[in-house]
């Protein structure tokens, strides 16, 4: 709740700005945003911030409908099958648009056919973390050497099979030539206690979930998977700087409509999102909680999904994961 309040405060100027809307222009009634994850997680919190900030800009209420389950596929399928009238928006991640096509034997939706992108809204890089009390590693090189010396390799936790935390760990183990044992949890709220108790060696999970324990000194951040150093953690190197090249991964997410939704709605929402991200105070607050508020065109979102397909295909392959 603190995160949500601080982010909302950052957008106070946007909230105060009056909406200018012609009669009949989209939107002229309440808009539903389907979030394919449970309430309270990082995605849910960030979407609710956007919903609050969109309301004064576009002159209508944006309500959140959480539809979790099946790795987010239930919510995405609900978005894909909604009426293409501009009044149902979905939140889709790199998992829904890229990873799941390699991970699942069959999907209830086709992202290329059933969804139309609006744009990426934020980036969530991953971070390699270890317990300060139970692991002596102070750098990624130290951790790599520790993993190689440890009988049976190392263990790493993630929020579940096929998540970016799982696949990042599998890819890392493959790159350094060490056996990695994946331990799936429900989320970071369960991973963190397991690491702090010494029952789990590491995590390569979304940075946003670990900022508090890193700041408190209970965990050490050894490397981030972003292309450049994270602005609020300048002492933490990137994977390339730490000795693992070509390792830029991010759990980016953005807005999508059902296919055949009105072009006017796509363009107007895109413009509103760009206006929100132009507020430096909003961007700064997102950075402090481990997320980067970004804007991209629909075309950029498609291009990024296509560009990252080889990376995630490799990650799924080395993980050995397969879901029905």
Query: Could you say which DSSP state residue 135 is in?
Result: -
What tokens appear for 1 in the block? 């709740």
Angle, CA of 179, 181 and 187, to the nearest 5°:
145
Q: What parts of the chain have a pLDDT lower than 70?
A: 1-24
Q: Alpha-carbon distance 308 to 313, whole Å? A: 9
Residues 6+ apart with CB under 8 A from 70: none
pLDDT of residue 24: 64
Label residue 279 exposed, middle or buried (CB < 10 Å: 0-12, 13-18, 19+): middle
Q: Report pLDDT for 189.
A: 87
pTM for the whole thing? 0.85
State pLDDT tens for residues 2-24. 344 433 343 433 333 444 444 46
pLDDT for the residue numbered 297: 96
Q: What is the pLDDT of residue 17?
A: 40
Sheet holding 292-293, edge to edge: 62-66, 31-35, 88-93, 253-258, 115-123, 292-293
CA distance 74 to 82: 12
The pLDDT tens digits of the residues spanning 134-154 come to 999 999 999 999 999 999 999
Which helix H or strand E contains 10, and what residues bound it? helix 2-10
Residue 239: name the closest of 158, 311, 163, 141 by CA: 141
pLDDT for position 1: 39
Give the pLDDT score at 20: 44
């Amino acid at each position: 709740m603190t995160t949500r309040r601080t982010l909302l405060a950052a957008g106070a100027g946007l909230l105060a700005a009056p909406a200018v809307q012609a009669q009949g222009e989209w939107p002229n009634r309440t808009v539903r945003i389907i979030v394919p994850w449970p309430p309270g997680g990082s995605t849910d919190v960030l979407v609710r911030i956007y919903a609050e900030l969109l309301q004064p800009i576009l002159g209508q209420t944006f309500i959140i409908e959480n539809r979790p389950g099946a790795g987010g596929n239930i919510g995405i399928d609900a978005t894909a099958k909604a009426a293409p009238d501009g009044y149902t928006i979905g939140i889709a991640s790199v998992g829904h648009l890229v990873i799941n096509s390699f991970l699942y034997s069959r999907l209830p939706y086709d992202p290329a056919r059933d969804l139309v992108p609006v744009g990426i809204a934020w980036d969530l890089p991953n971070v390699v973390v270890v317990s300060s009390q139970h692991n002596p590693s102070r750098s990624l090189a130290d951790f790599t050497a520790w993993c190689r010396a440890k009988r049976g390799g190392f263990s790493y936790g993630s929020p579940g099979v096929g998540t970016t935390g799982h696949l990042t760990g599998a890819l890392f183990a493959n790159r350094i030539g060490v056996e990695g044992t994946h331990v799936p949890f429900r989320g970071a709220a369960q991973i963190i206690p397991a690491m702090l108790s010494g029952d789990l060696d590491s995590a390569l999970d979304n940075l946003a979930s670990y900022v508090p324990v890193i700041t408190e000194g209970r965990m050490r951040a050894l490397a981030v998977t972003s292309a450049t150093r994270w602005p609020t953690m300048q002492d933490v190197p990137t994977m390339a700087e730490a000795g693992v090249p070509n390792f830029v991964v991010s759990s980016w997410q953005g807005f999508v409509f059902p296919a055949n939704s009105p072009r006017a709605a796509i363009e107007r929402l895109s413009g509103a999102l760009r206006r929100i991200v132009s507020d430096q105070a909003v961007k700064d607050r997102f950075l402090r909680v481990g997320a980067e508020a970004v804007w991209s065109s629909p075309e950029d979102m498609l291009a990024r999904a296509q560009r990252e397909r080889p990376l995630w295909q490799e990650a799924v392959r080395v993980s050995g994961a397969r879901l029905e």
